[in-house]
Amino acid sequence: MTKLRTLKVALLGCGNVGAQVARILIDDADMLASRAGARLELAGIAVRNLDAPREVELPRGLFTTDAETLIKDADLVIELMGGIEPARTLILTAMQNGACVVTGNKALVAKDGPTLHEEADKAGVQLSYEAAVAGAIPILRPIRDSLSGDRITRVLGIVNGTTNFILDQMDSTGAQFSDALAEAQRLGYAEADPTADVEGYDAASKAAILASLSFHTRFSLDDVYCEGISNVTAADIAAAKDAGFVIKLLAIAEKLGAEGTRTGTETGTETGANGATGVSVRVHPTLLPREHPLAAVRGAFNAVFIEAENAGELMFYGQGAGGKPTASAVMGDLVSAARSIVLGGPGRAETTTGQVTALPVTAAVTSYYIGLDVADQPGVLARIAQLFAEHGVSIEIMRQTIHRDADSKVESAELRIVTHRASEAALAATVEAVKGLDVINSVTSVLRVEGV
């Protein structure tokens, strides 16, 4: 065997994922060399605090606080610090120096992807970030490469393990949100400050990245409508369960209307509200039929469901977080980048020739699940149905449950409605109007439905 060349790898950050990446680079050096066609030498690990405890025991001499110097000689830079700065500047500098960059920084890619890609193109280096979305699951490369000859029409993703664990707990135990969150925190699935996860911000970054790759157009975080799960109640979950649904926090990117001259293709792309055409990117709690492939994704697992014109329905499933799974995605990117350096040529880049428009959430077309506490009077159902019809919203399922006390006296009447697909605006207006009816005691839940 001829002597392999050596490529220098600089690692920025040494948290859960970084420590596992360092371990793999050291322990599996021979395997990586055979896969990449070059030896990958871990030149150093830049950290803020040299004395912080690490998940994995690593040679003390590798650590430095001087990231700027470390990246100067690197052929490959792995950024796992998180946050916008100094990560952004270090990545840009590394690429200007000619290094290929692998990052897991979803917030940075979602916020400033265009700048990073522009710099990568200018420098002729690879920028890859498979680890930024859905941890170990190979999803960005399949979208970019494997589906490059197809048209993706819709992406539905469970891309945040924390919220999926919480919703799954609520579904299986009947717990309230706060108790399920506490359990998730106790088990290490949720952070002390869970805001980024439970309010959907983490999922929103991933939605922007998935939408950008799927629709060949750069979307940023600002294009994503975002609603978290902190308002989802045990009663919502129970009612959904009773109706054959499960509630998931979904990252959704879907094409509405024509792309170019194609309207009404066989896969049934529908036009958005008021004939809007473009892509709706949003994150919100969503009802899914229990038989939908995504409904079976339990605990902290992630999955991404894709619909494409020719491929049809695809699903990718796996661990969405954790040191080792995320490190697997980082290493896949690293070996691929190394291989492109060895083989020469600029390697594969994303295309952004799609030029589709990001639509506001009001243009989205979806179904609603609406729970109502109603008066038990004759004609209530008819009045409500009439009001839906006036707003152009068609009802798919309407079910009334009467709760009686021991003497068979009516205590309350509960009405559950699942609508057909309609525009967000029409649905919101309908709900507002319903609230104004004198026969309505309260609107107990309003949730979006997909997969029906």
What does the alpha-carbon distance between residue 340 and residue 357 come to, in Å, rounded to a whole number? 33
Q: Is 132 in the site for a second copy (CB under 8 A)?
A: no
Closer by beta carbon to a second copy, 228 or else 320: 320
Q: Which is nearer to a second copy, 17 or 447 (CB)?
A: 17
Q: Does 285 bind a second copy (CB under 8 A)?
A: no
The burial class, CB within 10 Å (0-12 / 13-18 / 19+), for 434 is: buried
Nearer to a second copy (CB atom), residue 311 or residue 425: 311
Candidates 127, 314, 358, 427; binder of a second copy (CB under 8 A) is 314
Secondary structure (DSSP) of 60-74: GGGEES-HHHHHHT-
Stretch that binds a second copy, among 85-93, 196-204, 232-240, 303-311 (CB under 8 A): 303-311
Length of the chain: 452
Stretch that binds a second copy, among 201-209, 277-285, 325-333, 376-384 (CB under 8 A): 325-333
* Cβ-based nearer residue to a second copy, 320 or 371: 320
2 binds a second copy (CB under 8 A): no
Give me the least distance between CB of 76 and a second copy, in Å please. 12
Size of the site for a second copy (CB under 8 A): 63
Question: Does residue 443 belong to the site contacting a second copy (CB under 8 A)?
Answer: no
User: Cβ of residue 141: shortest distance to a second copy, in angstroms?
Assistant: 5
**Closer to a second copy at the Cβ: 256 or 440?**
256
Tell me the backbone φ, ψ of residue 167, rounded to 5 degrees: -65, -35
Asked if the bond preceding 86 is cis, omega within 30° of 0, the reply is yes
- Site membership for a second copy, residue 308 (CB under 8 A): yes
- Residue selected from 317, 395, 398, 429 as contacting a second copy according to rule CB under 8 A: 317
- Smallest distance from a second copy to CB 342, Å: 10
What span, in angstroms and rounded, lies between the C-alpha atoms of 331 and 23?
11
User: Smallest distance, Å, CB 349 to a second copy?
Assistant: 8
The 10 Å CB-count burial string (b at 16+, else e) for 365-399 is bbbbbbbbebeeeeebbeebeebbeebebeeeeee
Tokens representing 415?
């009405």
Stretch that binds a second copy, among 143-151, 184-192, 238-246, 404-412 (CB under 8 A): 143-151
**Measured CA distances, 118 to 64, 213, 341, 352, 418 (Å):** 29, 15, 19, 11, 45
The yes or no reply on residue 117 touching a second copy (CB under 8 A) is no
Q: Does 289 bind a second copy (CB under 8 A)?
A: no
The stretch among 144-152, 279-287, 401-409, 444-452 that binds a second copy (CB under 8 A) is 144-152
Instruction: Name the minimum Å distance from CB 61 to a second copy.
Output: 24
Helix (H, G, I), strand (E, B) or coil at 141: helix
DSSP category for residue 47: -
Question: What DSSP letter does each residue of 419-444 carry, written as one string?
Answer: EPSEEHHHHHHHHHHHHT-TTEEEEE
d(CA 322, CA 297): 17
* 244 forms part of the interface with a second copy (CB under 8 A): no
Residue 86 CB, nearest approach to a second copy (Å):
26
Residue 82 or 293: which CB sits closer to a second copy?
Answer: 293
Lookup: tokens for 353? 């020739």
From residue 63, give the alpha-carbon distance in Å to each of 57, 69, 73: 12, 12, 16
Candidates 140, 100, 43; CA nearest to 344 is 100
Binding a second copy (rule: CB under 8 A), the pick from 7, 8, 20, 224 is 20
330 binding a second copy? (CB under 8 A): yes
Q: Which of 106, 111, 206, 255 is catalytic?
A: 206
Is 30 near a second copy (CB under 8 A)?
yes
324 is catalytic: no
What angle, rounded to 10 degrees, do the helices at 323-343 and 16-27 form?
Answer: 50
Taking CB under 8 A as the criterion, the residue among 28, 41, 373, 376 binding a second copy is 28
Helix (H, G, I), strand (E, B) or coil at 164: helix
Q: How far is the CB of 443 from a second copy (least distance, A)?
A: 35
Beta strands in 230-376 (DSSP E): 245-256, 278-289, 301-308, 312-319, 358-359, 365-374
Contact status: 157 vs a second copy (CB under 8 A): no
Three-class DSSP category at 416: strand
The minimum distance between CB 230 and a second copy, in angstroms, equals: 29
Binding to a second copy, residues 258-277 (CB under 8 A): 260
CB atoms within 10 A of CB 225: 20
342 within 8 A of 40, measured Cβ to Cβ: no
- Quote the least distance from Cβ 340 to a second copy, whole Å: 8
Q: Note the Cα 53 to chain centre separation in Å.
A: 30
Q: Strands 6-12 and 76-79: what pairing?
A: parallel
Q: Which of 357, 421, 9 is nearest to 211 (CA)?
A: 357
Q: Which residues pair with 41 in a beta bridge?
A: 8
**Which of 75, 130, 197, 236 touches a second copy (CB under 8 A)?**
130
> Which residues participate in catalysis according to the annotation?
206
Contacts with a second copy by CB under 8 A lie at 20, 24, 28, 30-32, 34-37, 130, 136-138, 141-142, 145-151, 216, 260, 293, 296, 308-319, 322, 324-325, 327-336, 339-340, 343-348, 351, 353-354
